[in-house]
Chain A
Amino acid sequence: MTAALAFDLLLVAALVWSAARALTVADVFRGVVLFIVFGLLMALAWARLGAPDIALAEAAIGAGLTGALLLDAVGHLRAKREPGP
C-alpha cells in the first residue's frame, strides 16, 4: 500500500512538474516534448485510476496524435524562423 501511495505521489509530482515545465521552458520544441511526456504520464495516471480505456486513448490520441501535430507545428514554426538557404 505504501509503495503504491509513494508511486502515486511521485506520479502526481511528475505530472505537475512536467505540465509546469512544458509551459515555462524557454524553447518551444522542448516544451512540446515535455508535453508529450506529460501525456504519457497521464496515461499512467489513468491506469492507476483503473481506467485502461482512457489510458489507451490518452497514449494514442492525447500524447500520440496531439504530440505529432504539435511537433509538426514546431517544425513549421522553425522553418519560418530560419528561412531556407
Chain B
Amino acid sequence: MIDTWLPVGVVLSSFLPGLFIFFLAESRIRLRTALNLIGALAKLALIGVMLWGVLNDHEYVFRHTVLPGLDLVLKADALALLFVTLSAVLWLFTTLYAIGYLEGAPHRSRFFGFFSLCVTATVGVAMAGNLFTFFVFYELLTLATYPLVVHRGTEQAMRAGHVYLGYTLGGGALLLVGTVWLYGLAGQADFVHGGSLAALPPETAGQLQVVFLLLIAGVGVKAALVPLHGWLPLAMVAPAPVSALLHAVAVVKAGAFGIVRIVYEVYGVEFAQSLDLLTPLAIAAAVTIIWGSLRALFQDDLKKRLAYSTVSQVSYIALGVALFGPLGTIGGLVHLVHQGIMKITLFFCAGNYAETLGIHKISEMDGAGRRMPWTSLAFTLGAFGMIGVPPLAGFVSKWYLGLGALEAGMPWVLAVLAASSLLNAAYFLPVLHRIWFRPAPSAWPAEHIPQRGRWETAPLLLLPPLATAAAILLVGLFAASAFSPLDWAKLIADREYLQWTP
C-alpha cells in the first residue's frame, strides 16, 4: 500500500506546496519559504526511502487507469531514482538560491508556484512508468516553465517565450503522434528493462523506425539536439535560477532522459540496434556536441555561452545512449548527473556576477576573481569539470564515454570527444584567464550588492554554488564509492543489459 503511494508522494511533495504558494499573498515571505523548504525536504526524505528499497531490488509502482487501455504509471526504479535524486537535490539548492536572488522582486508567489510545478513535472518525467505518463509530465513541464521564461515580462523575454513555446509544443505534438502510434501497434508502452517492442511482428519494423524518429524528434526538442535547439540560447533571458534549473535539471534533462527511456526501455537497446537506429542517433548527438561548442566560442554574453555549452554537453548523454554496450550507457547516465551539477554551478555563478556587479558579458569579467573569489572558485571548478580535467566530475563521464565508444566499435566518437574537449577548453579558459589574471576595472558595470565583511555577495547566493562546486569535486573523487552517481549508473547498466553478454 505504502509502496504504491510513495511515488505519488514524491510528485505531490512539490505539487501541493506549489499550488498553495500560487495563491499566497506577495507579502507572506516566511510562509512561502517554509512551504518551499518543507516540500523540498519531504521530497528528499521520500526519495531516501526509495533509494534504499531500489538498491534491494524493490520497485515502487503506482498505476491508475485513465482510459481503457491507457494507464498513468509512476514507477521508481533505479533509472528513475538517478534523475529524481538529482532533481530533488538541485531543486533544494536552486530554491535557496532563488530566495536570495528574488529578494524584493515582484510576483514571487507566481514565480515559486510555477517553480514548484516545474520540479513536479520533472520528477514526474523521471518516474513515468510508461510512454504516456512520460508525455503527460513532459507537456506539464512545458506549461510550467513558460511563465518562468517570460517571468521578467520584457519584450525580449516575451519573444523568447514565444519561441520556446513554439518549439516545445511542436515537439510535444510529434511525441504525441509517436506515442499514439506506438500504443496502436503495441497496446501499452510500459518502460521495462530491455524494452518490449522486440516481440512485435517483423513487418512492423518500418513503422517502428518512423515512430522512433517521431519520438526522438519530440524529446530532442527539449534535449536541444541540433537543429531543434533554437529555443535554448534565447531562453537564457529568464532569471538566473530558472536558467540554472532549465539547463541543469528540468527541461533539457527531461529531453535527454526521454531518449534514455525510449532507447532502453521502450525499444530495448538491442532491438534499437537491430533496427539500425543507434548510429543515426550517435551522429546527431556528435553533430550537436561539435556545433554547440563551436557556437559557444563566439558568444560574448556569458549566459549565452553557457547556453550553447549546454547544447553541446547534454548531447553527451544521447551519445552515451547511442553507444551500444554497458560502458557507453554508464558514461551517458553518469553525465546526466554530472552535467547537472556542473552546469547549475556555472549558472549560479553567472547569476552572482550579474546580481552583484552587473556583469553580463565576458568582456566585463576582468579581475572579477579578486572581488568575488569564492564565486570565481566555484566557476573555475565548473569550467574545469566541463573541460574534463581529472579528477572532476566531467572527467569521469568522458572516460566512460570513450571506453564505450571503443566497446561499441565506433572509434570516430573518440575524435568527437577530443575535439569537444578542446573546444570546451577554448571557450572556458579565456574566461578563467580574465577572471584571475586581468586587472579589475576602476568600476563595475553596476554594483548592486556591496562587499559586507567576508561576504562578497548575499549569503543565499553564495552558498548554493559553493555546495554544488564541492559536489563536482566529490563525485569525481569518490566515483568508486557506494551511492555515487557512477555506482548507481553501473547498477542501471547492469539491469538494462541483463540478458546481454559481449
A and B touch in the complex (CB under 8 A): no
Residues of A within 8 A of B (CB): none
Which residues on B are within 8 Å of A, measured CB to CB?
Answer: none
